[in-house]
Structure formats: C-alpha cells, structure tokens
Amino acid sequence: MSDKLSKFKEMIGEVFDLNRAAAVLSWDQQVNMPPGGAEARGQQLATLGKIAQEKFTSDEMGSLLEELKKEYTDPETDEGAMVRVAARDYEKAKRVPPEFVAEQAMASAKAVEAWVEAKGKSDFSIFRPHLEKNLELIKKYVSFFPPADHPYDVLLDDYEPGLPTAEVREIFGNLRPKQVALIKAIGEAKQVKSDFLKKSFNEKKVWDFGETVIRKFGYDFRRGRQDKAPHPFETTFSVDDVRITNRFEKNSPLATLFSAMHECGHALYELGGNPAYERTPLASGTSLAVHESQSRMWENLVGRSLPFWEHFYPELKKAFPSQLNGVNVKSFYKAINKVEPSLIRVNADEATYNLHIMLRLEIEIGMVEGSIAVKDLPEIWNARMRDYLGVTPPNDAQGVLQDIHWSYGSIGYFSTYALGNIISAQLWERINKEIKNLEEQIRKGQFVELREWLRKNIHQYGHKYDPRDLVRKVTGNDIDSAAYIRYLTEKYGEIYGL
C-alpha cells in the first residue's frame, strides 16, 4: 500500500468515525432520548456534521484524491473503487459549505421531535414550519450544484447514484398500468378473509416470535439488537454493530413481525459486508434501492410465501391458539397477502405498495419544483390517496404524517422503495435458477444457502459497484420491472384464482 493511500485511508477513516458517531446520536434520539433533549442533540449533530464536512472537503483530501486517481485506475480493484467513490463524493461534498451541513443537522433534529409530537396529536400544523424549513434548505442544497435536467436529479443522486428522475419516471410509467390492471382484476375476484388478523395479539409474544424468525434468517444478536422506535429503521455503527428498531400497532398487530423481517433484511446486508471495507467509502450498501431489495425480499418474497408459513405457522398457532382457531395455513397465507387499498405505506400489500411510493414521488417533485406548497400537503395528500387508492385518511397521523423521512430532510428517497421491489424480483429469479431447491429449503426453515448467496453476490461488495452496475453484474439485465410483474401476476393469480 502506497504512503498516499495509507494517508487517505487514515483521513477518510476519521470522517467515517464522525459520521458513525452521529448515527449513534440519531439512533439514541429515536430510541432513548427524552423529548426535551432535541435542541441540544441538534447542536451535537450539527457539530459532528460540520467537522466531518470540513475534514472530508479539506484541500489536503482533494490533493490526495487527484494523485490517487492517477495511480489507481482499475475500477475492479478495491483500491480503484475506493478512490472512485471517494472522489465522486468529494466533488459533491466540496460544493456544500460546512456551515450549511451544521444548519441542516440542527433543523433536522428539531423537525424529528416536532414530527413525533405532530403525529402523536395528529396535527400537521405542529410539523408544518419545520418541514417548510427543511424544504427551504433542500432547495438551497440543490442550488449548490450545476443545473440538472431536473432539480430533483440532484437529490435522487444522493440515494441512487447515477439514476436520473426521467429514468425513474419511465420505469414507474411502465410498471403502473400493469399494477393497476392487476389490482382491478383482483378487485373483481372473490376477496379473501382476514378478520382474524385484527384480533388482539399479545405484543411481547409477537415481538418474541419476530426475533425467533430473524434469528433463523441469520441476524446475529451478538452484533445487533432490536429496540422500539416511532418508525422502524436499521442503522449501522460498524460491521459488528448493526441495529434495528420496530414498533407495535394494536390495529395491525402482525405488522411488527413483518417489520422485523424487513429491517433484518437491511441488517443482513450490512452484517455481510467485507470487514476490510470498514472505515472506507466502500462500507455499507451501494444504494437505497439495492438495500431495499434486500429488506423487501426477506419480508415479502420469503416472509409472505406459502413455504415459509408451512414451516412457521404451527409455531405461530401455538403462540396464538385462540386468535388462529380454525384458521389453516393456506387461509393464513392468503390473509397476510390480501390485496386491499390501505392508508399506511409500511402495512400495504405488495400489489398496492408501489402506488404509495408513486404518490410520494409526485408530491416530492412538486415540492422541489415549487408547484406544491407545504401548507397544502394534507389536502393534496388526501386527494391523491383517493385518486390512487380509493381511500381517504381520517386524520393527519394516518395521512401526511405517517412517514418520518421528511423530518430528516430526506427528500429524494421514496422512489428507492419501489425500485427495491423491482430489483428484489430480478434477483429472486436469478437465485431460483442457481438454488434449485430453494422453496423446499424455506419450507424446512433453512435460510443459510439463501443468505450466503446474497452475501457472496451482493453484500460483500458494499459500495464497490454502483447500483445499476451491480444489478447488471448479478442478473445480466438493467433495472426492469418485468420480473416484478411476473412475480405479482403468478402469486396473486394463484391466491385470487385469476
């Protein structure tokens, strides 16, 4: 290793440490911190963010990267990929003043607490000024960059490198009419029964059952933990400290189980990373869409499959004998896959989920363009829910306030959820070609080969490959919705007799 590369890794490692320390503070804010600590926590996060930004965008870092780009030119080597990713991030970060990073961190910390209060009281007016501030800062952030084909491109690139808004719209444009047609066909079929899912389920038993499942998936509780938070999430402090959070909803008690599977999918990605990438730009997943492909795969393609429940249902029925009395495994499987327009994105069925995402994408683009004002969001949200899904939120908590992302200033994020669904199906087709008896393994509660396939083909690479390059490398194709439509059509065709 050259002296220059050693110096670079030392410097970038310190930036990495600062960002991970900020992640610990953010995790604590949602899991443990009393509401009164918001302002001080915002200042702490602002300080860490500013220092990290100053270190990363220093002239010394810039000079090192210029020299390293000439020395490490092979993108297939770890060193070449590390320099490429760092140089791209540096060019973007250099445009953003450290003072702005601090201001954004402070605003975000206050907005998170305001969102928690607003959601608890179902009162958008509490959150509105904070979202307006976040949006003001988002527009200022966009102004730091050269004009793009669309201002939203600048934001999307932070989460899905190299993927422009126009391409996302094209992918969704191809997907939407096919999903709408499927939903229409299902709506005309005989609906499945699911009333037993609304019964009272003991919270601790559901929580413990979820932990039993994710242990079998391979989530290592020596390197992770599951805590309660207002909104489920996964966060990474190191390859050996990857945590998840969850919540319990009385009106949808088994949602806790599927959230555990979902966040476990994210965690397995992080836990499966190459330890040699720790404290470098290659640590963590390559993009949010690829990350979401992992969480949605474990939650849906595995966790909502019939073979999965042929293994786990006897245990679940033993834990909840009265709630599941007279319900056989096939009926349970159909119930957890019931297609029904719903208010809450995270609880939406697979057939309607992407419509929730498309709604949010359009609203975000409108806010960034200036065609949608924050003050009008509850009304616009409710109108589009009626147009897209035929349901109207009865209050702000179940409508515009249901997601935490905007409180963080995370605009540009939501499309990655639907892209993750699409990628998961593409990967699933490849996996089933290479693991011939995968369905039988799942039926036996065996997940090692699946997990190791994902580790070998996806997880170990961290950020070495850009998302589209990784999808192409593994599947031989670009990101395309055809596999996802095939998956939905086959699954729901069988459930609803289409």
DSSP state of 414: T
Distance CA 484, CA 379 (A): 32
What are the b/e assignments for 52-75, b being 16+ CB within 10 Å?
bbbbbbeeebeebbeebeeebeee
Give the residue among 75, 74, 78, 142 at the shortest CA–CA distance from 104: 142
Distance CA 137, CA 2 (A): 40
241-246 and 234-238 strand pairing: antiparallel
Helix (H, G, I), strand (E, B) or coil at 238: strand
Distance CA 33, CA 88 (A): 35
The catalytic residue among 263, 292, 299, 350 is 263
Query: CB–CB of 393/343 below 8 Å?
Result: yes
Instruction: For 107, list phi and psi in degrees, rounded to 5.
Output: -65, -40
Reply yes or no on whether 263 is catalytic.
Answer: yes
Which residue carries 């969850």 as its tokens? Answer: 246
Quickly count: other Cβ atoms within 10 Å of residue 364's Cβ: 24
DSSP state of 301: I
Residues annotated as catalytic (active site), given as ranges:
263
